[in-house]
Amino acid sequence: MKCPFCFAVDSKVVDSRPTDEGTMIRRRRECTHCGKRFTTYEKVEHIPILVVKKDGRREVFDSDKILSGLLKACEKRPVTMKDLEAVVQDIEKQVYNSLDREIFSQRIGEMVMERLKALDEVAYVRFASVYRQFKDINTFVEELNKLIKEK
């Protein structure tokens, strides 16, 4: 690691520990040339996953979009931020563990609805109405009837 003070390329690790979130390693280093100390962070490099949209466009997977949709669906509902973050982490883990380089947006939407149904039924119906683009009240009622039958 190059020293930020004297630009020498040799340094030694003095201390190493995980960050609070556990997603990175914090390393305290000391330059073997000038003796000054500096901090570096090491994290796992994620290979980008592409999301294939309905119209065929591809964009990089962004878990913040999932959280945004969940926040809209759960507005004024008794669902904690911790619960929503757990849903996002679960979906993110499933997407990255699939080992596929591409995933269809419809699959992500289904994963969100599956988890929302267990979390909050009203939020599930809200999300489903936007996601499935309910055309009229009959489509909405059909989805509600399915939900009632599952109980």
What pLDDT, on a 0 to 100 scale, did the predictor assign at position 103?
Answer: 95
Phi, psi of 92, deg, nearest 5? -60, -45
Q: What's the pTM value of the predicted model, to 2 decimals?
A: 0.64
Q: What is the mean pLDDT of the chain?
A: 89
Nearest CA among 12, 53, 66 for reference residue 34:
12
Residues 36 and 18 in one domain: yes
Average pLDDT over residues 54-64: 94
Q: Does residue 133 register a pLDDT over 80?
A: no
Q: Phi, psi at residue 21, to the nearest 5°?
A: -75, -15
Q: Check: CB of residue 74 under 8 Å from CB of residue 81.
A: no
Query: What is the Rg, in whole angstroms, of the alpha carbon atoms belonging to the chain?
Result: 23
Count structural domains, the chain.
2
Question: Is 5 contained in some domain?
Answer: no
Same domain for 83 and 118, yes or no, is: yes
